[in-house]
């Protein structure tokens, strides 16, 4: 009898202290089973072989599941498995932001969410040394994994795809598969797991809750626009004493120097040698940081989305000893000459033995390792322009593919691996759609392709290219001559001919 009383008392005591209480977070966890078909950058008319991966997600309000972009990037199929369930239901990607590594998924059958309470986002940043629990489905097992650690660092850092975000470092065990899982303090999401340091033990990173909240606000209208940022100038710190003397800065003065402009002077109130001393009312120090709270300093660009209004952000600058207030434009994206593909697939056009495609960051990164010396030898400007911005809206660098397709029409021409196309029949190419128009509307007996640098001229019988294209496509096993976006461009002439 005494033993029974003792057991009952012990169980009640444990329950009252929460030791046996059910973790209310676990019902909000989801495992994602994903089939990914990445782009084939060399053969843009097809996709790479499918790869099966898994990741973690968490249910939030509105029958939505929050996860990482890289978990569902180029997903051809997504299945959702709720915690403690063996059933897998079909999922659908609603929004994806590769630059923030965030995505929203939902279940096609909304009954999936019944009885599963969404988790809320924390309203405030956690404190350093706060204890955090990280939930997810790492490799090595099928069951939910919960690890405990501490918040060890908070910083504003560059991510992939030109992104920058508030990043929280946690000292907790994280492994592949944890991506997309929530980190929780006091029952609220303080961040979403997105990466770890492979060379270090138990160090991982979270996308902070306030970045998630801004992403959710952004997509509320059905479109992801991206975060506003200052992209008009390059900046550098003012720590060096000689530089500070040159700028007229006194001891204790802070600020960032404008090293150079990335736009025309007429389009920007900043000038070289300006020192940005404040963003809004926040003082910028010598390293470009601002005080966010007593124990936390972050890079000043952290405040841009918060202070931007009507497409500008207020700055205070020091110019030749005079203090000025200026409003500098902010934009949601960089007009890169070679953009990132992100979740898209390459665009392409095939005509005769030639494959044309726009140069992207992914393609440049893939080819510059093995081919850079070869390209530089031929005077190809692609390697030196990888990080350039567009000179005019819509500008693209269009290159030939890895090779000319083998056919008698290409006999005798040297290798043209990713040669930059400069002109079609003497007209400068602006972008891929323009190249298609030039080929479509070309007249005369010949089609001449001029490549930048020291490549050979490619001369073809114009009509013969039309005649052999289908033959080449069939021989190479290529279904479509062009990507879907070019269908109307290529068929434009045919429509005009019918009208005539």
Residue 384 has pLDDT above 50, yes or no: yes
Domain ranges of the chain: 28-113, 131-221, 233-329, 349-499
| Third-level CATH fold of 28-113 | Thrombin, subunit H (2.40.10)
Out of 3.90.550.10, 3.20.190.20, 3.30.1490.20, 3.40.50.720, the CATH code matching 349-499 is 3.20.190.20
The larger pLDDT score, comparing residue 12 to residue 465, is at: 465
Residue 17 has pLDDT above 70, yes or no: no
Length of the chain: 500
**What is the structure's pLDDT at 73?**
96
pLDDT in tens, 89-118: 999 999 999 999 999 999 999 999 998 999
Backbone angles phi, psi at 204, to 5 degrees: -135, 175
Mean predicted confidence (pLDDT) in 132-159: 89
What is the distance between the alpha carbons of residues 281 and 228, in angstroms, rounded to a whole number? 19
Average pLDDT, the chain: 90
0.85 cut: is pTM over it?
yes
Query: Would you state the structure tokens that stand for residue 82, as one six-digit string?
Result: 């709720």
Mean predicted confidence (pLDDT) in 415-427: 94
Lowest mean pLDDT segment, chosen from 154-168, 208-222, 343-357:
154-168
What is the distance between the alpha carbons of residues 326 and 310, in angstroms, rounded to a whole number? 14
Residue 196 has pLDDT above 80, yes or no: no
Q: Exposure of 489 by Cβ count < 10 A (0-12 exposed, 13-18 middle, 19+ buried)?
A: middle
What is the distance between the alpha carbons of residues 57 and 59, in angstroms, rounded to a whole number? 7
**Which phi-psi region, left, alpha or beta, contains residue 216 (left: φ > 0; alpha: ψ -120 to 50)?**
alpha
Backbone angles phi, psi at 123, to 5 degrees: -85, -25
pLDDT in tens, 440-474: 999 999 999 999 999 999 999 999 999 999 999 99
Q: Which residues contact 418 (CB under 8 A, 6 or more apart)?
A: 359, 363, 367, 371, 375, 380, 382, 399, 400, 401, 402
| Burial track 288-327 (b if 16+ CB lie within 10 A, e otherwise) | bbbebeeeebbbbbbbbbebbeeebbebbbbeeeeeeebe
Band (pLDDT 50/70/90 cuts) for residue 23 is confident
Mean predicted confidence (pLDDT) in 23-39: 93
Helix (H) or strand (E) holding 322: strand 322-329
Backbone angles phi, psi at 471, to 5 degrees: -60, -45
Residue 352 has pLDDT above 80, yes or no: yes
Cβ contact 417:402 at 8 Å: yes
**What is the structure's pLDDT at 498?**
39
**What is the structure's pLDDT at 18?**
41
**What is the structure's pLDDT at 371?**
84
Lowest mean pLDDT segment, chosen from 122-126, 377-381, 403-407:
377-381
pLDDT in tens, 284-342: 999 999 999 988 999 999 999 999 999 999 999 999 989 999 999 999 988 899 999 99
| Residue whose C-alpha is closest to residue 438's, from 462, 414, 456 | 462
**58 to each of 99, 116, 389, how far by Cα in Å?**
20, 10, 37
Residue 11 has pLDDT above 60, yes or no: no
| HSE-CB for 26 with a 13 A CA cutoff | 11
Domains 131-221 and 233-329 share a fold: no
User: In CATH, what class is 131-221?
Assistant: mainly beta
As its CATH architecture, domain 233-329 has: Roll (2.30)
Q: Exposure of 66 by Cβ count < 10 A (0-12 exposed, 13-18 middle, 19+ buried)?
A: buried
Cβ contact 179:56 at 8 Å: yes
Lowest mean pLDDT segment, chosen from 19-28, 289-298, 358-367, 453-462:
19-28
DSSP secondary structure letter of residue 263: S
């Amino acid at each position: 009898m005494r033993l029974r009383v003792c057991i009952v008392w012990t169980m009640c005591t444990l329950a009252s202290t929460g030791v046996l209480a059910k973790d209310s977070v676990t019902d909000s966890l989801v495992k994602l089973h994903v089939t990914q078909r990445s782009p084939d950058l060399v053969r843009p008319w097809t996709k790479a072989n499918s790869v099966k991966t898994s990741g973690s997600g968490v249910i939030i309000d509105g029958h939505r599941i929050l996860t990482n972009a890289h978990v569902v990037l180029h997903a051809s199929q997504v299945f959702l498995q709720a915690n403690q369930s063996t059933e897998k239901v079909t999922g659908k990607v609603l929004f994806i932001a590769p630059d923030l590594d965030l995505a929203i998924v939902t279940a096609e059958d909304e009954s999936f969410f019944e009885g599963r309470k969404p988790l809320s986002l924390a309203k405030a940043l956690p404190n350093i040394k706060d204890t955090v629990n990280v939930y997810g489905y790492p490799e090595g097992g099928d069951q939910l994994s919960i690890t405990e650690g501490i918040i060890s660092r908070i910083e504003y850092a560059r991510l992939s795809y030109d992104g920058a975000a508030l990043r929280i470092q946690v000292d907790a065990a994280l492994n592949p598969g944890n991506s997309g899982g929530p980190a929780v303090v006091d029952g609220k999401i303080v961040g979403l797991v997105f990466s770890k340091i492979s060379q270090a033990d138990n160090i991982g990173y979270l996308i902070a809750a306030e970045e998630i909240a801004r992403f959710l606000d952004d997509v509320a209208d059905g479109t992801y626009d991206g975060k506003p940022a200052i992209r008009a100038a390059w900046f550098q710190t003012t720590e060096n004493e000689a530089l500070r003397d040159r700028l007229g800065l006194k001891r204790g003065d802070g600020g960032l120097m404008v090293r150079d402009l990335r736009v025309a002077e007429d389009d920007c109130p900043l000038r070289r040698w300006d020192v940005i001393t404040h963003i809004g009312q926040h003082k910028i120090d010598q390293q470009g940081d601002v005080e966010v709270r007593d124990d936390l300093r972050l890079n000043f660009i952290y405040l841009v989305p918060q202070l931007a209004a009507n497409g500008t952000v207020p700055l205070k600058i020091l110019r030749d000893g005079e203090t000025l207030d200026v409003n500098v434009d902010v934009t949601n994206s960089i007009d890169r000459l070679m953009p990132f593909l992100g979740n898209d697939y390459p665009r392409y056009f095939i005509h005769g033995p030639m494959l044309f495609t726009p140069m992207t960051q992914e393609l440049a990164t893939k080819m510059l390792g093995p081919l850079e010396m070869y390209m530089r030898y031929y005077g190809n400007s692609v390697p030196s322009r990888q990080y350039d911005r567009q000179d005019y809206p819509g500008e693209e660098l269009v290159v030939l593919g890895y090779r000319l397709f083998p056919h008698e029409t290409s006999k005798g021409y040297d290798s043209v691996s990713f040669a930059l196309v400069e002109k079609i029949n003497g007209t400068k190419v602006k972008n891929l759609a323009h190249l298609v128009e030039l080929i479509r509307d070309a007249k005369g007996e010949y089609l001449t392709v001029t490549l930048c640098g020291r490549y050979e001229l490619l001369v073809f019988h114009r009509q013969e290219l039309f005649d052999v294209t289908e033959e080449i496509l069939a021989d190479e096993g290529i279904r479509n001559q062009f990507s879907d976006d070019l269908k109307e461009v290529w068929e434009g002439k045919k429509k005009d001919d019918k009208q005539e």
